[in-house]
């Protein structure tokens, strides 16, 4: 293999996933710059993403290409270069999600622009996986997700709810409007606070610009939807201790998070650099260890395949509304955003990433928790 040129090596590896260079299938890679081959071998996933942003290659169905690559385990056959290995080593020793650095992802990603997300998400701007069990459109899937959570937590009128990582308040709005609960949401994005507050006008919802570690008081229920991916392994225990402190004795916590099949360096260098700084996908082992001696696990629900559908729906909206965004973002941004949404969809289609909803209680629900599906 070492004697092969970079091009021959890439052609061989791609073939293992049923991908042909300059082939005719929609998942085949069409190379526009021959330097792509060496760049891919030298920089792996970072080089793949950056070379796409630079226009060095194209593919009609990047989501399916990634699905095939992940299912064939090609990445295990590619030698990691020293620079990438060093960056991954740092993640083992440095707390990149401490209080000071935690706000970076808010500025880098969630403050990219409300208008962008308004033209990509559902009508209520829910930026987490929808629940597609009995529906075939994004708006209904997101409403179904919100309702599923409300039922799992047994909401009753007047309950106090803490929403850690509340986004633009989509869940808070749904829960307050349909179940009569009082919601306090916290986020590290100023853009989300401003628009979320507007969207929840007239409802018992307060959205704060606040780190979850600084929340005071106790609540009947706690939800955290799509935020745990930004917490980081060194802070998982702190997150759980904070939730424990903020949850009343007979309360319930629902954690909605992307999950990895394996424990380790669960991060993509390109996604970390361009989309989610300091992001980290937790494994089941890491999550269970984080709440030992604090919570009882009452329910663990996986509907990861629904994230593929959600991401593809977001991408459809982004494509259809791109003409509204051209005055704000250039073509390189569009290629970056396309790549982000489509590689994530492919990862869920390949089932290497999951979507977990985990219900936790402090002492165990008397007479047992009744699972809702």
Active site members:
344
Do 115 and 121 contact (CB within 8 A), yes or no?
A: no
Q: CB-based contacts of 348: which residues, under 8 Å, 6+ apart?
A: 304, 305, 307, 308, 311, 354, 355
What angle separates helix 62-72 from helix 331-349, to the nearest 10 degrees? 40
Handedness of CA 80, 83, 88, 92 (dihedral sign): positive
Please report, to the nearest 10 degrees, the dihedral formed by the alpha carbons of residues 128, 132, 137, 143 taken in order: -60
Task: Please give the sequence-ordered ranges of beta strands (E in DSSP) within the chain, or none if there are none.
Answer: 30-31, 57-58, 160-164, 182-187, 205-209, 219-225, 247-260, 296-302, 353-361
Burial class from Cβ neighbours inside 10 Å (0-12, 13-18, 19+) for residue 69 reads buried
Q: Choose among 139, 191, 170, 171: nearest CA to 314.
A: 139
């Amino acid at each position: 293999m070492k004697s092969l040129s970079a091009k021959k090596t890439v052609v061989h590896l791609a073939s293992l996933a049923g991908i042909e260079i300059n082939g005719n299938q929609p998942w085949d890679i069409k190379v526009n710059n021959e330097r792509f081959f060496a760049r891919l071998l030298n920089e792996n996933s970072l080089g793949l993403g950056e070379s796409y942003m630079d226009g060095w290659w194209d593919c009609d169905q990047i989501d399916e290409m990634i699905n095939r690559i992940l299912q064939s385990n090609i990445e295990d056959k590619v030698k990691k270069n020293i620079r990438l290995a060093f960056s991954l080593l740092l993640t083992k020793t440095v707390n990149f999600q401490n209080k000071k650095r935690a706000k970076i992802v808010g500025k880098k990603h969630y403050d990219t622009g409300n208008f962008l997300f308004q033209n990509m998400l559902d009508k209520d701007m829910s930026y987490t996986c929808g629940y597609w069990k009995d529906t075939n459109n994004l708006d209904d899937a997101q409403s179904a997700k919100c309702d599923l959570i409300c039922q799992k937590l047994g909401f009753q009128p007047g309950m106090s709810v803490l929403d850690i990582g509340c986004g633009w308040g989509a869940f808070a709005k749904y829960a307050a409007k349909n179940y009569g609960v009082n919601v306090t949401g916290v986020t590290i994005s100023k853009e989300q606070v401003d628009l979320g507050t507007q969207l929840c006008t007239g409802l018992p919802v307060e959205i704060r610009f606040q780190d979850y570690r600084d929340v005071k008081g106790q609540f009947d229920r706690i939800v955290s939807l799509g935020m745990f991916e930004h917490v980081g392994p060194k802070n998982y225990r702190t997150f759980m201790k904070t939730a424990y402190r903020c949850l009343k004795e007979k309360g319930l916590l629902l954690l909605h998070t992307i999950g990895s099949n394996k424990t380790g360096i669960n991060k993509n260098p390109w996604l970390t650099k361009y989309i989610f700084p300091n992001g980290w996908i937790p494994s089941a082992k890491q999550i269970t260890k984080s709440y030992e001696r604090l919570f009882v696990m009452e329910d663990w629900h996986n509907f990861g395949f629904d994230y593929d559908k959600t991401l593809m729906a977001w991408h459809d909206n982004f494509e259809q509304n791109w003409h509204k965004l051209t005055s704000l973002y250039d073509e390189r941004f569009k290629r970056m955003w396309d790549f982000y949404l489509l590689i994530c969809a492919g990862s869920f289609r390949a089932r290497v990433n999951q979507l977990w909803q985990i219900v936790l209680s402090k002492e165990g629900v008397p007479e047992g928790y009744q699972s809702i599906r």
